[in-house]
A and B are shown apart, each in its own frame.
Chain A
């Protein structure tokens, strides 16, 4: 069972021992966008609660989100959402047993990144069009 030798066993290797690979970047980005969205989506709750409180509280949220910092945060949130969404669909295909070849993994990863950028820009063009 447990003896002193157990302490000498190698631990899991750290990130820096692996050769850099696209699929590695896309995996890390999935987790980073996930955590970012978890924090960022609390703003949605703030928006909803403020709307229920009244015009004063709601205008405060809207003026924060409309500021330069607010817009930058919303832009980052939009990209994180589209990345996590597109890469989440990539994960669902893996769950179904599809797309495990290295070349396929790279290609679907590039597609996820490209579509997240395109969809983010598209959403913001629509947003600014609605603003008039």
Chain B
């Protein structure tokens, strides 16, 4: 027997009104990160100890610039989703939890913007 209203059951969004959005976004970014991280490790091993000019030439290649932008977006989106769960598990004081959650999410946005700006500055 369910206590949910028929409209609540149809919407399927649960008490947080988000449904499976968090879970799904974590999976979509995870799947994207499988090829992206493998490519990234391969690229970094070939760039070990590179000087500035070599690294600039590498990131100046549109393919590397695009893949690095995708990597940074997928990584930090995945990071803020994952760290959110860790914070919700261990930080129990409501005020502190909100402060730490906001700090992590804002920091992730700032890091992504700084990274993309830098990539475009090098590549364009």
> Measuring CB to CB, which residues of chain A are less than 8 angstroms from any residue of chain B?
31, 34-35, 37-38, 41-42, 44-45, 48-49, 51-52, 54-55, 58-59, 62, 66, 78, 81-82, 85, 88-89, 91-92, 95, 123-124, 126-128, 130-131
Given contacts A88-B30, A130-B45, contact A51 B115 (CB under 8 A): no
Chain B contact surface mostly: helix
**Pair B114/A58 contact, Cβ less than 8 Å:** no
- Among B31, B37, B52, B59, the most chain A Cβ lie within 10 Å of the Cβ of B52
- Which residue in A35, A52, A92 is a CB contact (below 8 Å) of B30? A92
**Pair B118/A44 contact, Cβ less than 8 Å:** no
Q: A109 vs B117: C-alpha distance in the bound complex, in angstroms?
A: 39
**Residues of A contacting B76 in the complex (Cβ-Cβ under 8 angstroms):** 41
**Pair B119/A55 contact, Cβ less than 8 Å:** no
**Residues of B contacting A42 in the complex (Cβ-Cβ under 8 angstroms):** 111
**Residues of A contacting B41 in the complex (Cβ-Cβ under 8 angstroms):** 78, 81-82, 123
**Pair B52/A58 contact, Cβ less than 8 Å:** yes
**Pair A85/B34 contact, Cβ less than 8 Å:** yes
**Residues of A contacting B59 in the complex (Cβ-Cβ under 8 angstroms):** 48, 51
**Pair B118/A49 contact, Cβ less than 8 Å:** yes
**Pair A41/B75 contact, Cβ less than 8 Å:** yes
> Measuring CB to CB, which residues of chain B are less than 8 angstroms from any residue of chain A?
27, 30-31, 33-34, 37-38, 41-42, 44-53, 55-56, 59, 68, 72, 75-76, 79, 82-83, 86, 111, 114-115, 117-119, 121-122
Q: A123 vs B37: C-alpha distance in the bound complex, in angstroms?
A: 12
CB closest chain-B residue, reference A82: B41
**Pair B52/A89 contact, Cβ less than 8 Å:** no
CB closest chain-A residue, reference B53: A55
**Pair B48/A128 contact, Cβ less than 8 Å:** yes
CB closest chain-A residue, reference B48: A127
CB closest chain-A residue, reference B89: A31
**Pair B82/A44 contact, Cβ less than 8 Å:** no
**Pair A38/B27 contact, Cβ less than 8 Å:** no
